[in-house]
C-alpha cells in the first residue's frame, strides 16, 4: 500500500493540473478576446501603440530616466 499511495497521489495531482488548465483555458479565452482584443483594436483606431516595434534610425536609442533616490513612501508601491 505504501508504494501505491504516492502513485495515486501523483495521478490525482496530474488530473487536478489538467482540470485547472482546461478551466484556465475556458476563462482566459473571453478575457483575451474581450479584454485584450477590444481594448487593443479600439485604441489602435486612435493610433495608439503599446510597444515600439517600428525600426527607425535615430542618433541614440537611450531613453531619459533620471531615476535617483526617492522618498521612502514611493518604495512601498508595486509600480
Partner 1 sequence: MYVLGISCYYHDSAACLLKDGRIIAAAEEERFTRKKHDNSFPKKAALYCLKEAEIAIDKIDYIAFYEKPLLKFDRLLSQYLESFPKGFWSFYKALPSWLHEKLRVPSMMKKHLKYKGEILFVEHHMAHAASAFLVSPFDEASIFTIDGVGEWATASIGVGKGSDITIAKEIVFPNSLGLLYSTVTAHLGFKVNNDEYKVMGLAAYGKPSYYDSLKKLIRIANDGSFQLDMSYFDFHYKMTMPSKKFIKEFGPIRKRESNIEQRHKDLAKSLQKITEEIIFKILNDLYKKTKIRKLCMAGGVALNSVANGKISRSTSFKNIFIQPAASDAGTAMGTAFYAYNTILKNKRKQILEHVYFGPGYTREEIKSFLDFKKINYSELSDSDILKKSAELIYQDNVIGWFQGRMEWGPRALGNRSILANPLNPKMQDILNAKVKHREMFRPFAPVVTWEDAKDYFDVDREVPYMLYVYPVKKEKRQLIPSVTHVDGSGRLQTIKRKQNQKYYDLIKEFERLSKVPILINTSFNIRGEPIVCTPEEAYRCMMGTGIDYLVIDNFLIARKENPKHMWNSESIAKD
Using rule CB under 8 A, residue 49 touches partner 1: yes
Using rule CB under 8 A, residue 47 touches partner 1: no
Distance of CA 69 to the CA centre of its chain: 29
Instruction: Please report how close the Cβ of residue 1 comes to partner 1 at its closest, in angstroms.
Output: 24
Using rule CB under 8 A, residue 46 touches partner 1: no
Instruction: Please report how close the Cβ of residue 32 comes to partner 1 at its closest, in angstroms.
Output: 5
Q: Which helix (H) or strand (E) holds 51?
A: none
- Please state, in angstroms and rounded to a whole number, the distance separating the CA atoms of residues 40 and 38: 5
43: Cβ–Cβ under 8 A, 6 or more apart, which residues? 50
Distance of CA 16 to the CA centre of its chain: 23
Using rule CB under 8 A, residue 53 touches partner 1: yes
Binding site for partner 1 (CB under 8 A): 20, 24-25, 28-29, 31-32, 36-37, 39-41, 43, 49-53, 55-69, 72, 75-79
Amino acid at each position: 500500500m505504501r508504494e501505491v499511495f504516492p502513485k495515486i497521489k501523483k495521478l490525482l495531482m496530474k488530473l487536478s493540473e489538467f482540470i485547472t488548465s482546461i478551466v484556465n483555458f475556458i476563462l482566459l479565452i473571453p478575457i483575451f478576446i474581450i479584454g485584450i482584443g477590444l481594448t487593443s483594436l479600439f485604441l489602435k483606431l486612435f493610433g495608439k501603440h503599446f510597444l515600439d516595434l517600428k525600426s527607425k534610425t535615430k542618433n541614440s536609442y537611450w531613453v531619459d530616466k533620471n531615476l535617483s533616490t526617492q522618498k521612502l513612501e514611493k518604495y512601498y508601491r508595486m509600480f
